[in-house]
Amino acid sequence: MPARTVRPTQVLLVEDNEDHALLITRALNIHSVSAMLTHMPDGEEAMAFLRRQGRHRTAPRPDVTLLDLNLPRKSGYEVLDEVKRDPALCTIPVVILTTSRADLDRERSYRASANSYLVKPVEFGRFDEMIQCIMSYWTIWNEPPDELLTDAASIRVVRTAR
Amino acid sequence: MKTKKQNLDCRIAQTKEADAQVGRLSERLEQANQVFRALQHAINEHAIVAITDAKGKITCVNEKFCAISGFSEAELIGQDHRIINSGYHPKSFFRDMYKTISSGKVWHGDICNRSKTGEIYWVKSTFVPSLDENGKVQSYTAIRDDITLLKKIEAELGQVVAQLKARSSEIDRKNSEMEQLVYTVSHDLKSPLVTILGFASHIGKDLEDHQPQLVLEDTERIIRAASKLKLHIEELLELGRIGRARQPLEMVDLESAVAEVLSECDAALKQRGVQVVTKFEVASVLVDRYRLLQVLQNLVANALKHGCAAVDPRIEIGSVAHDDEVRIFVRDNGNGIAEQHHERIFGLFQHLGTRSDSSGVGLAHVRRIAEVHGGRAWVESSIGAGAVFWVSLSRFPTPAESNP
């Protein structure tokens, strides 16, 4: 039986608010030492990272993406839409992480195939708890099966060929 | 053979019978006359009546006609109805009416007339042609009711309905604006709150871990977020104030207003080496002076922050006349703004970059101030071509309704 290499969970955080990004980073450090977090400050940069374009040529494929909705350059909705329409990316779980409690945002996110919609808590001490929940739920396998990656890659090739 | 007497008796009987018949007929005639007089009296009491000959010359008018038209009977007899024409109706209106009645049909309609003294009055009219045995028109009888008051009420009602409709769409617009505001505000006020409570909950752990440096850093972030929150709230209140507490409008010289604003940001302009050009086609504008200064400040600050080209930055400020408007513009030669953002940037707390020095309310203020002055604010720009921010103000402002 081939030995599996254990690698840390790759988390992509797309967040323009530096403070919130730091809060999420700290929460991850506390609860999930095996997580590797990459922080992108806007939607366009995030898409470049996900598509391994430009300086992100060697970017890892995220196991989960935490996505803010209100982003400069390219909004969270646009990012969500592009990810879920892209056969090579659509299997990456996207967790919307926003301050908006509006039903409209929630519905629109789920319609665009968001995997989860979470409101940033404004209660003392709840932030860490939420990040912990996200991590334990969305990264059950912190080593996604290799065949999934291969499948995704082959789909991408087929699509390009057409 | 009948006797002479018999003949005479017969004649007498016939004459008596004829007399009786005449008596009965004249009795019926008298009755009919009574009815006619009663009707005539009643109609004269109720309506405005005029009779014309086949050519339309007035042959008979009643007292009410004289009273409402202001003409005496003598002045009216022999005239046609043009004497009371108000000019309100098009010629075709009377042409159609004449076509109807001259063909022997009755015509109904509302007519606007003018009295001798120039007063306008409305009558609900019925024109009845009288025909001879050959079906030829002999005369026309016109019976009218004074409906001036009715028409006035109708017009006022129409105005009220129109006002109500305008009001209701205004309320709809304000409501959706309010919804949008609540949406953005709840989002943007909560954001610093997340930061404050998030870092506050770390402080205990920082202390446990004997990390005083982290306590300091976290406290600093808390203070920064709290200050941002305070700023947001103040700006919201300010935005609310723009609509209320309005100062009287005054003629403000644009050149001196712009000079005042430019002198305030002189240091920043010099530091960036920005060339400022001004050109005023319209020299002055009737505005709330303080609000105009706010508009100019915001637009200049906006150009400084977002619209300054790296090489030879240049800001043009000026005014042009456009119909009944004065349009004030601030043009920069910066990177420009993609069209999809042209509306968004005027929204509350919206900014396109990640710059922390922009509060995201400046342009919302500009638009609100323009609206309160009965004008508009918009941007013309495309990527790479700089941006022109426009604010239109009415040249002849009517005092806008005060907000309740």
**pLDDT single digits (tens) B265-320:** 888 888 888 889 999 988 888 888 888 998 999 899 888 888 777 778 889 999 99
Q: List average pLDDT for each run of 10 residues in chain A, which is 162 residues long.
A: 61 91 84 78 93 90 90 89 92 90 89 89 73 71 46 35 29
What's CA B117's distance to the chain center, in Å? Answer: 32
Set of chain B residues whose Cβ sits within 8 Å of the Cβ of A123: 197
* pTM of full prediction above 0.90: no
Q: With 0-12 CB in 10 A as exposed, 13-18 as middle and 19+ as buried, what is A58?
A: exposed
Best probe of the B interface among A26, A74, A97, A122, by most B CBs < 10 A, is A122
Q: Coil, strand or helix: which one is B58?
A: strand
Q: Which of B204, B232, B229 is nearest to B218 (CA)?
A: B204
User: Could you say which of A17, A99, A127 has the minimum Cβ distance to residue B201?
Assistant: A127
Best probe of the B interface among A15, A19, A31, A66, by most B CBs < 10 A, is A19
Residues of chain B with pLDDT under 50: 351-357, 399-404
Q: Supply the pLDDT for residue B114.
A: 94
How much of chain B is helix, strand and coil, in % rounded to 5?
Answer: 55, 20, 25
Q: Which amino acid appears at position B220 of this protein?
A: E
| Whole-angstrom distance, CA of residue A34 vs CA of residue B167 | 61
* CB within 8 Å: A72 and B351: yes
Measured from the Cβ of residue B295, the count of other Cβ atoms closer than 10 Å reads 28
Q: Supply the pLDDT for residue A45.
A: 93
Length of chain B: 404
Q: Which residues pair with B390 in a beta bridge?
A: B329, B378
* CB within 8 Å: A123 and B202: no
The alpha carbon of residue B158 is apart from the nearest alpha carbon of chain A, in Å, by 39
* CB within 8 Å: A73 and B197: no
Which B residues 325-354 touch A at CB under 8 Å? 351-354
Output phi, psi for B47, to 5 deg. Answer: -120, 165
Q: Supply the pLDDT for residue B202.
A: 86
| Whole-angstrom distance, CA of residue B44 vs CA of residue B375 | 57
The alpha carbon of residue B261 is apart from the nearest alpha carbon of chain A, in Å, by 30
Q: Helix A18-31 to helix B148-208 angle, to the nearest 10 degrees?
A: 40
* CB within 8 Å: B194 and A16: no
The alpha carbon of residue B292 is apart from the nearest alpha carbon of chain A, in Å, by 30
Whole-number mean pLDDT of chain A? 78
User: Could you say which of B198, B221, B353 has the minimum Cβ distance to residue A72?
Assistant: B353
Rounded percentage of chain A residues whose pLDDT exceeds 90: 33
The alpha carbon of residue B315 is apart from the nearest alpha carbon of chain A, in Å, by 25
User: Which two three-digit tokens encode residue B43?
Assistant: 């109609």
User: Which two three-digit tokens encode residue B119?
Assistant: 């007063």
Q: Which of B286, B342, B291 is nearest to B319 (CA)?
A: B286
| Whole-angstrom distance, CA of residue B55 vs CA of residue B65 | 19
